[in-house]
């Protein structure tokens, strides 16, 4: 069974009965993360924008119509 034998300031752990206070738990979590870091998420790359061929015009999309009362009720 692995265990830690550490000496810390009384500001972190006052005595043997104070082992699981918030500061002591944060210290143990930090030691754990130093040895077992979280995996990094791969960077997401946005796909390239598709361009229209030369001479082709793309019609503009209509602006959405806002109904404040309906949208408010939908959100809340």
Residue range(s) defining the domain that contains residue 32: 1-39
Q: What is the DSSP letter of 9?
A: -
Does 76 score more than 60 pLDDT? no
Distance CA 71, CA 64 (A): 12
- Domain assignment of residue 24, yes or no: yes
pLDDT score for 21: 92
The pLDDT tens digits for 22-72 are 999 999 899 888 888 888 877 777 777 777 677 777 677 777 676 666 666
- How many domains does the chain contain in total? 1
pLDDT score for 22: 92
Q: What is the pTM of this model?
A: 0.47
Distance CA 68, CA 75 (A): 11
- Domain assignment of residue 72, yes or no: no
Does 9 score more than 70 pLDDT? yes
């Amino acid at each position: 069974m692995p265990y830690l034998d550490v000496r810390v300031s009384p500001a972190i752990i006052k005595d043997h009965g104070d082992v699981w206070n918030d500061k002591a738990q944060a210290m143990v979590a930090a030691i754990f993360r130093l040895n077992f870091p979280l995996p990094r998420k791969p960077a997401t790359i946005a796909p390239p924008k598709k361009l229209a061929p030369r001479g082709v015009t793309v019609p503009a999309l209509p602006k959405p119509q806002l109904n404040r009362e309906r949208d408010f009720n939908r959100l809340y």
